[in-house]
Amino acid sequence: MARLPVHTVESAPSEATARIEAVQKANGFIPNLIGVLANSPQALEFYQEVSKLNGKNSLTAEEIEVVQITAAAHNGCNFCVAGHTKIGTLRLKMPNDVLQALRARTSIDSNEKYQALAQFTMQIIDKKGKVSDEELAAFKAAGYTDQSVIDVIMGVALAALCNYSIGVSQAEINPELAEYAP
């Protein structure tokens, strides 16, 4: 049982109702993360608006999911691993070996660029941004730019909101996401 309310359209604060209704209409269900974030309508708005911005940064859609799955797995958020694995699998058709390596935080042998991105994402998290000159150079040597560096940090920040909210709430993985859970 969740330690924070997991809101529905009926129980959400009025400031969050329209956002939750839109999610339900778009997905056919309300992911428990959305229900948890609705405890703070501002946090729900932050999540949705930053997600839109994150979706149009310098990284490809697949690279954005590399950051999100890596961060979720690294932060131990099985809910977010499941959600982003579903996106990677169904919407983006990412290779299964890439998704499995991200989920397990192991080497992505088939894609050196994704491997550099996943490694850099974990370094950003572990070192709270204080990566070494060598780590930054290795990331850039893989073909990433100064903008990519900041875009990875934006993705990590977004993941922190989600991963930590699920961690504190202990909300369950929705049945619609269960088959993608670790």
Residue type, position 77, single letter: C
- pLDDT at res. 38: 98
CB contact at 8 A, 82 and 173 = yes
* Average predicted confidence (pLDDT) for the chain: 98
Task: Residue 118: name the closest of 137, 142, 82, 134 by CA.
Answer: 142
pTM over 0.85: yes
pLDDT, one tens digit per residue, over 60-100 is: 999 999 999 999 999 999 999 999 999 999 999 999 999 99
Task: Residue 35: name the closest of 164, 155, 169, 156 by CA.
Answer: 169
pLDDT, one tens digit per residue, over 152-173 is: 999 999 999 999 999 999 999 9
User: Mutual orientation of helices 41-54 and 146-169 as an angle, nearest 10°?
Assistant: 150
- pLDDT at res. 1: 86
Report whether pLDDT(137) > 90.
yes
| d(C-alpha 109, C-alpha 133), whole Å | 24
Percent share of the chain, pLDDT over 90: 99
- Rounded to an integer, the average pLDDT of 132-160 is 98
| d(C-alpha 11, C-alpha 19), whole Å | 13
| d(C-alpha 34, C-alpha 24), whole Å | 10
**HSE value, Cβ hemisphere, 13 Å, CA-based, for 80:** 28
